[in-house]
Amino acid sequence: MSAEVTRIVLETGKLRWSSPLIFNDPFDVPRALELPFNEADIAAALEKRIREYVLGTAEPVAPWAIELANAARSQPPHKRDLLLNIVHASVPDLLVQGRRAIAGFQSGWTEKVKHLRILCYSAIGDSPPMWAHYASGRAGVVLQFASSDERESSSLLATPVIYRAEPPTVPLLDRWVRSFLQEEAPDWNEYFHEYYYVKSVDWKYEQEYRSITASLEESDALHTDVPFIPEDLTGVILGPAISSDEEAMVRLHLGRYPNVQLYRARDDHLSRRVVADLVLTRGAPPRCP
């Protein structure tokens, strides 16, 4: 982060959990849920499944479907054909219901995204691109946090991001149909998990972990500033290009953090990494950033 943001964090003892609506990657936690099928596909799949009920090749669960299947199986074959024609004639109604199902799922996701708050970490502190992109071109700061079960640290929630070329998985059409017909109750959170944590391989250099929660506040703000446990802050790494005034400001606020170690970063041309050297020890023994 920049030195100015560091000042705010150290003064307030809070970290900013942001809405994905302001993320720099437009494909990260998609704002809208795009499905690889439409309501006509759902209607056709519903018709196919109901035909299977009538023909006895699938077992229904919904009471109305059980009643339909029992009625069909007690009739001679030509009457079954009549029922199948009735099912086919009901496709427009199925189309309406399929459209509603999609719209409901999509609107539910859109509403969910509005309230998400995400805190992003990196597993590394020595990446030149990370320093360049997020720490004011090496003039900022890296904050290092440790997790503690005893303190119930918020960073215990942090989950590694999955980097892959394929986009997040969405429910397949057959699962939609079976859910609609009450044959199964999919765990939609299984799919939401992918939308939370799957990112393009273009961002793999970040080695990101993220903690996710939901905000119930009625506010137009796209972030929530949340206190962190002072003992969880274990390292402050000053950027290679930080100014003397900003370094003095950082040092001024370290007193309230009993476990923090202060490091100064430098450019190591042999390793082509940003190396941190310990310059001030407080509290717990230092660990390599």
**Going residue by residue through the chain (289 aa), what tens digit of pLDDT does each one get?**
999 999 999 999 999 999 999 999 989 998 888 888 887 888 888 888 888 888 888 998 988 888 888 888 787 877 777 777 877 777 777 778 778 877 887 888 888 888 999 999 999 999 999 999 999 999 999 999 998 888 888 889 899 999 999 988 877 888 888 888 888 877 777 777 888 999 999 999 999 999 999 887 777 789 999 999 999 999 999 999 999 999 999 999 999 999 999 999 999 999 888 899 988 766 554 555 5
In a domain, 289, yes or no: no
Cβ-proximal residues to 250 (8 Å cutoff; 6+ apart), any chain: 3, 6, 7, 10, 141, 236, 238, 242, 262
Token output for 3? 């030195």
> Could you tell me if residue 85 is inside a domain?
yes
Question: Would you mind telling me the total number of residues written for the chain in this entry?
Answer: 289
Structural domains counted in the chain: 2
Cβ-count burial 1-25 (b if 16+ within 10 Å, e if not): bbbebbbebbeebebbbbbbeebee
Note whether 107 and 121 are same-domain residues.
no
| C-alpha to C-alpha distance for 200 and 161, rounded to whole angstroms | 10
In degrees and rounded to multiples of 5, residue 120 shows phi and psi of -105, 130
| Same-domain pairing of 12 and 46 | no
What pLDDT, on a 0 to 100 scale, did the predictor assign at position 1?
96
If asked whether residues 95 and 152 sit together in one domain, one would say no
- Same domain flag for 154 and 217: yes
Are residues 158 and 84 located together in one domain of the fold? Answer: no
Q: What pLDDT does residue 176 have?
A: 81
Domain range enclosing 73: 39-111
- Residue 54: the pLDDT is 84
Nearest to 191 by CA among 120, 109, 103: 109
For residue 29, is it within any domain?
no
In a domain, 228, yes or no: yes
Coil, strand or helix at 22 = helix
Helical pair 91-115 and 173-180, crossing angle rounded to 10 deg? 100
pLDDT of residue 172: 80
Cβ atoms of residues 48 and 34 within 8 Å: no
Do 10 and 61 fall into the same domain? Answer: no
Residue 141 and residue 165 in one domain: yes
Q: Domain check: are 106 and 122 in the same one? A: no
pLDDT of residue 235: 95
Domain-embedded: residue 33: no
- Which helix (H) or strand (E) segment holds residue 132: the answer is helix 128-134
Query: Any idea which residue has 């950027």 for tokens?
Result: 239
Q: What is the amino acid identity at position 27? A: F
- Sign of torsion over alpha carbons 270, 275, 280, 281: negative
**Domain end marker among 111, 130, 158:** 111
Q: What is the pLDDT of residue 74?
A: 81
Going by C-alpha positions, the residue among 276, 25, 14 that lies closest to residue 138 is 276
Q: Are residues 266 and 130 in the same domain?
A: yes
